[in-house]
Amino acid sequence: MLIRRPPDLAASEITPRHVFERRRALIKAAGALALTAGLPATSRAGEAFSGLQQSPLSTTEAPNSLRDISGYNNFVEFGFGGKPQPAERAGAMKTRPWTVHVEGLVNRPRAFAIEDILRLAPLEERIYRFRCVEGWSMVIPWVGFPLGVLLRQVEPQGSAKYVEFVSLADPETMPGVRQPFLDWPYTEGLRLDEALHPLTLLAVGLYGEALPNQNGAPLRLVVPWKYGFKGGKSIVRIRLTERQPRTTWNLAQPEEYGFYANVNPAVSHPRWSQEKERRIGEFRKRATLPFNGYAGQVAQLYAGMDLRKFF
């Protein structure tokens, strides 16, 4: 399978830390960069987050540039035609008003406006490794807060064992959902203990400002030790269940996409080896790390499990 990718960037083009901490300068630079790249600037204009603290859970690796992160995406609701396509099409999606329904096996089901979600907890910056099942990777400076903060608002019941995430499926603005290749809406899921892990993030931004539409605005899931397809974008519904959710890619191609999707170099995708990865912006390949480098924090969640069977 031929994967199209933008030209490699020199190391000097990767935005250094001192630049992305200067929020106002970054907003101007991001707009100029989007124009240079021929991509629409789909962040909400002027919606920057001030006073962010960097989480101690962040990696020390240098982040990819905003051009990398906003211009090379998987977001199949906007089409199956290549990585630049979401940025070209996602501007049509409206992210205000936006409501997220949290329901199922909870004591206090609730519909949250996105503005209410933004007030639930102090937002922080978390620089996480991101690994796609196709073999490419990035380092992304997300803005958000732990998913557990939201789940505690609704008080999960003792019978709840899983969390299901449902994305927007709007055929008027998302041409991909008019195609019969997947069972829409896009649905993903986690075990409850995975969802409550401190690394699991609800992301509302990146590089200090609101998420671009093509990156899953206004709210997406980030689970850094799993392959990227687990991170549901543009979430509209979160449901706690007793049974394992039926997830989109696992339903479509169960031999290729398991429910757990933990990054594992020892378990190959039928069409791609997972032993190595290529960081966008680099030419060389690097060894893939078990659990994407987060084994020290999360491996105990899977103690005693056969990770070849539960892939």
Q: Classify the C-alpha dihedral 16-20-26-32 as positive or negative.
A: positive
List the domain boundaries for the chain.
11-302
Residue 290 has pLDDT above 70, yes or no: yes
The predicted pLDDT at position 30 comes to 43
Buried b (16+ CB within 10 A) or exposed e, 46-71: eebbeebeebebbbeebbbbbbbbbb
The predicted pLDDT at position 282 comes to 95
- Among 101, 189, 216, 105, which residue's Cα sits nearest to residue 150? 101
Q: Give the model's confidence band at 144: pLDDT under 50 very low, under 70 low, under 90 confident, else very high.
A: very high
Residue 278 has pLDDT above 60, yes or no: yes
Answer for the pair 26, 208: CB distance below 8 angstroms, yes or no.
Answer: yes
**Adjacent-strand bridge partners of 239:** 103, 164
Residue 73 has pLDDT above 80, yes or no: yes
The predicted pLDDT at position 44 comes to 55
In whole angstroms, give the CA distance from residue 231 to residue 223: 6
Q: What is the pLDDT of residues 11-39, one digit of tens each?
A: 333 444 434 443 433 443 344 334 334 44
- Among 88, 100, 279, 108, which residue's Cα sits nearest to residue 204? 100
The CATH number of 11-302 is: 3.90.420.10
Model confidence, pTM: 0.87
The predicted pLDDT at position 215 comes to 98
The predicted pLDDT at position 47 comes to 83
Give me the helices (H) in 185-241, please: 192-195
Structure tokens at 115: 């503005």
Q: What is the pLDDT of residues 204-253, one digit of tens each?
A: 999 999 999 999 999 999 999 999 999 999 999 999 999 999 999 999 99
For 55-124, the DSSP string reads: -TTS-SSPPPPHHHHHHS---GGG-SS-TTHHHHHGGG---SS-EEEEEESBSS-EEEEHHHHHTSS--E
Q: What is the pLDDT of residues 165-211, one digit of tens each?
A: 999 999 999 999 999 999 999 999 999 999 999 999 999 999 999 99
In whole angstroms, give the CA distance from residue 181 to residue 253: 11
**pLDDT above 90: percentage of residues in the chain:** 84
